[in-house]
Amino acid sequence: MTLAQYQKLIRDIYFDRDSARGLDATFLWFIEEVGELSRALKRGDKNQQIEEFGDVLAWLTTMASIQGIDLQQSALARYADGCPKCGQMPCACADEAAAGR
């Protein structure tokens, strides 16, 4: 499955409900899922980590759809040629802050 196919799938499943909720409330759900991922990473439970990574990706994808952003065409293009700051692969910037992440 491509990222575009995944975004369409998540849109087909959740877009009406999530867009009615609005970006601000949807973002709060996303943050809650990031917190759950953080706890799963700290606990070291691989199955829970897999579930939470999936949830975070789904909420992130939903927010992109609400904003009209095609993740495959625009967001992935930012990193298609390596680091967006230095253009290298792997990144040759001095630190993560310099890399713009």
Mean pLDDT of the chain: 93
17-50 per-position pLDDT tens digit: 999 999 999 999 999 999 999 999 999 999 999 9
Scan for tokens 């917190």, then name that residue: 35
Q: What Cα–Cα distance (Å) separates residue 90 from each residue in 37, 82, 97?
A: 26, 7, 15
Helices 23-43, 46-66: axis angle to 10 degrees equals 160
Kindly indicate the confidence band of residue 97, based on its pLDDT and cuts at 50, 70 and 90. low
Average pLDDT over residues 51-74: 96
Q: Which domains does the chain possess?
A: 3-69 (1.10.287.1080)
Which residue from 42, 75, 82 is spatially nearest to 57, judged by alpha carbons? 75
- Is residue 84 classed as helix, strand or coil in its secondary structure? coil
Kindly indicate the confidence band of residue 77, based on its pLDDT and cuts at 50, 70 and 90. confident
Share of the chain above pLDDT 90, in %: 82
